[in-house]
Amino acid sequence: MSRQFFFFDQPRRFVVGTVGQPGDRTFFLQATDGVRTVSVALEKSQVTILVERMEQLLAEVSSRGGLEPPTDIDPDTEPLDNPVDEEFRVAAMGLAYEAETGLIVIEAQAPAESTEAAEATLLEDTEEGPDALRVRLQHQAAFEFVERARRVVAAGRPPCPLCNQPLDSDGHICPRSNGYRRNVNLDV
Structural domains in the chain (count): 2
The parent domain of residue 172 ranges over: 159-188
Kindly state whether residues 146 and 179 are assigned to the same domain. no
Is residue 171 located within the same domain as residue 125? no
Per-residue pLDDT tens digits for 111-143: 988 878 777 888 888 888 899 999 999 999 999
Whether residues 182 and 96 fall in one domain: no
CATH for 58: 3.30.2450
Helix H, strand E, coil C: the string for the chain is CECCEEEEECCCEEEEEEECCCCCCEEEEEEEECCEEEEEEECHHHHHHHHHHHHHHHHHHHHHHCCCCCCCCCCCCCCCCCCCCEEEECCEEEEEEECCCCEEEEEEECCCCCHHHHHHHCCCCCCECCCEEEEEECHHHHHHHHHHHHHHHHCCCCECCCCCCECECCEEECHHHCCCEECCCCCC
Chain segment 61-109, per-residue pLDDT in tens: 988 876 777 888 888 999 999 999 999 999 999 999 998 999 999 999 9
